[in-house]
Amino acid sequence: MRTRPRSTRFLVVGNGQPALALVDELIATDRVELAALLTSEPNGRAASQAAKESVPIYPEGLLRDVSRLEELDLLGCDWLLCANTTCIVPREVLAWFPERALNFHPGLLPAYAGLHSHQWAIRNGETEFGVTIHMIEPGLDMGDVIAVRRFAIRPEDTGLSLYRIGMKTGSRLFTEVLRAILAGDPLPRQRQDLSKRRLYRHADATDGRIDWTLPAHRVVDFIRAGNYYPFSSPSYTPRIDDFGAPSVRVLRAAVVAADGAAGRLIEMRPTGPVIGCGSGAVVLENSIRDGRELDVPTWRHLFGSLSRRGMLEHRPQPRDRPLCRPWDGSA
């Protein structure tokens, strides 16, 4: 009697659009079993789709419970796929998936490892960004690269718009990689050049105060990178604290042809105040305070209330301060 081929079993960990793309593809494929979905969004679309097919759904934190994973027979899966998750896979779990654990990273490796890399790309003045599928190895975002998809950073992109592009692009790329796995195709692998590795940490991206000593274009990039309006930024929100509580949230600015001391009000335009920077100046085109957009009369009132006439405080940064942490050999 002919034995029926065993189904290939997948364990998916993740959230949002990338996790949904994998769930949809696995559910629609014959001789494939989605053994479980581990997610922090039990009411999300990925979980909803999995539930329709009676796929077990567990919290993401289960990934750290080796004994429980073994008890549920999830360590016996053929592949571990991580899509849009910040959970770090323990070494004990990775040992069960030698060269069969993949991760979607919303950034280009090795130069943009870690968190909020899309925001850092804008802050760093990049004109191109991308997403990466890589093997999971001990250490954060350090495995061999399997696939990369690049795209332009447009001048109008914000932290939110670039995040959305990355999620959409990464979902498609991971689906392509999954289809290659299902077809039995060998996955291409490229070792990362760790001499070019830069690791961005959440703690390095939480201060939203605008540094007016930066060049004007850097101030604009800082503002648009932190703009997630109407949602909350995962890291920082560009703000001005000088006028007291509540802070002014700055959503959009542009470089203008003007000169003035860093933090000084140069003039008031119909679109907003023109503020001097370390070099050049910016006009604040869209700002909110207490849920309401600021108009010119309100701006005049706020600047008139400053004890230092027309001058915003700034927090100069050492010029040799890195915008990220170079790799020091640790995870």
pLDDT in tens, 9-65: 999 999 999 999 999 999 999 999 999 999 999 999 999 999 999 999 999 999 999
The H-assigned helical ranges of 39-97 are: 45-52, 66-71, 91-94
Cis peptide before 273 (omega within 30 of 0): no
- Any idea what the CATH number is for the domain that residue 42 is in? 3.40.50.170
| Same domain (yes/no): 65, 14 | yes
The answer for residues whose C-beta is within 8 angstroms of residue 55's C-beta and 6 or more apart is 23, 27, 34, 35, 36, 37
Select, from the ranges 6-10, 105-109, 194-198, the one with the highest average predicted confidence (pLDDT).
105-109
| Same domain (yes/no): 137, 223 | no
31 lies in some domain: yes
pLDDT confidence of 330, banded at 50, 70, 90? very low
| Same domain (yes/no): 128, 275 | no
- Predicted local distance difference test score (pLDDT) of residue 7: 86
pLDDT in tens, 290-310: 999 999 999 999 999 887 666
CA-based nearest residue to 147, from 125, 119, 172? 172
CA-based nearest residue to 220, from 313, 278, 282? 282
- Predicted local distance difference test score (pLDDT) of residue 325: 52
* Nearest-10 crossing angle of helices 16-27, 159-182: 20
| Same domain (yes/no): 182, 34 | yes
Of 173, 200, 227, which closes a domain?
Answer: 200
186 lies in some domain: yes
| Same domain (yes/no): 245, 226 | yes
311 lies in some domain: no
| Same domain (yes/no): 95, 222 | no
Q: Provide, rounded to the nearest whole percent, the portion of the chain with pLDDT above 70.
A: 92
| Contact of 93 with 70, CB cutoff 8 Å | no
- Predicted local distance difference test score (pLDDT) of residue 323: 47
292 lies in some domain: yes
| Same domain (yes/no): 47, 135 | yes
- Predicted local distance difference test score (pLDDT) of residue 306: 87
Of 146, 168, 200, which closes a domain?
Answer: 200
- Predicted local distance difference test score (pLDDT) of residue 316: 54
| Same domain (yes/no): 57, 182 | yes
| Same domain (yes/no): 20, 132 | yes
User: How many domains is the chain built from?
Assistant: 2
2 lies in some domain: no
Which residues span the domain enclosing 56?
Answer: 8-200
pLDDT confidence of 288, banded at 50, 70, 90? very high
Which amino acid makes up residue 231? F
- Any idea what the CATH number is for the domain that residue 274 is in? 3.10.25.10
| Same domain (yes/no): 223, 191 | no
- Predicted local distance difference test score (pLDDT) of residue 13: 98
| Same domain (yes/no): 194, 219 | no
123 lies in some domain: yes
CA-based nearest residue to 234, from 114, 116, 85? 116
Q: What angle do CA 32, 90, 194 make, to 5 degrees?
A: 100
| Same domain (yes/no): 195, 250 | no
277 lies in some domain: yes
43 lies in some domain: yes
